[in-house]
């Protein structure tokens, strides 16, 4: 047995579905829906391209900033090293100058101490000489007073005058 499919105006249900689809496609084309879809897609593509161009521009700008900051970091590092070397050099100069100044001060103080000791020695010797001379003078006065009288003094004075006249 063979089943009979219902038909309407000579078309079976599959034919009607195909006909309806053709009608829908015809209406869509007649209302320019594909062009609107294409325009919307083109607009979306243009927006995405603009965003990609902006992203590329931002990426290039970020790379330029990165390169600039890397250069600045290298420059700062180089400047830091130069500053550190200069500070070390200045510190070494200060230490050397301080050492030289300390040695000069020690030498000067040593000379001053030696001069002071020599002056004290001279003063002590001069003091001893003065005391000895004073003691010798007093002893000589006592001896002269004990051994010489007026006649002996007259004889000495005459002898001294005689020696001067010669």
Indicate whether 3 belongs to any domain.
no
Indicate whether 4 belongs to any domain.
no
> Residue 73, Cα to own-chain centre: how many angstroms?
16
> Residues 10-35, buried b or exposed e (16+ Cβ, 10 A)?
eeeeeeeeeeeeeeeeeeeeeeeeee
Q: What is the pLDDT of residues 3-55, one digit of tens each?
A: 777 777 878 888 889 989 999 888 888 888 878 888 899 999 999 999 999 99
For 64, which DSSP code? H
Alpha helices in 10-32 (DSSP H): 13-30
pTM over 0.85: no
pLDDT at 16: 84
Indicate whether 63 belongs to any domain.
yes
pLDDT at 106: 93
Task: Check: CB of residue 59 under 8 Å from CB of residue 53.
Answer: no
The domain in which residue 150 lies consists of 13-158
Domain count, the chain: 1
């Amino acid at each position: 047995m063979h089943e009979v499919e219902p038909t309407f105006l000579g078309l079976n249900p599959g034919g009607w579905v195909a006909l309806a689809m053709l009608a829908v496609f015809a209406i869509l084309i007649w209302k320019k829906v594909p062009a609107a879809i294409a325009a919307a897609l083109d607009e979306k593509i243009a927006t995405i391209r603009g965003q990609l161009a902006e992203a590329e521009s931002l990426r290039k700008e970020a790379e330029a900033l990165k390169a600039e900051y890397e250069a600045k970091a290298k420059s700062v590092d180089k400047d830091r090293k130069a500053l550190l070397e200069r500070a070390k050099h200045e510190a070494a100069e200060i230490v050397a100058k301080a050492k030289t100044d300390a040695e000069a001060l020690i030498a000067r103080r040593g000379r001053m101490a030696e001069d002071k000791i020599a002056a004290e020695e001279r003063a002590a010797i001069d003091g001893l000489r003065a005391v000895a001379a004073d003691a010798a003078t007093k002893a000589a006065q006592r001896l002269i007073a004990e051994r010489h009288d007026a006649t002996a003094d007259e004889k000495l004075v005459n002898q001294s005058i005689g020696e001067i006249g010669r």
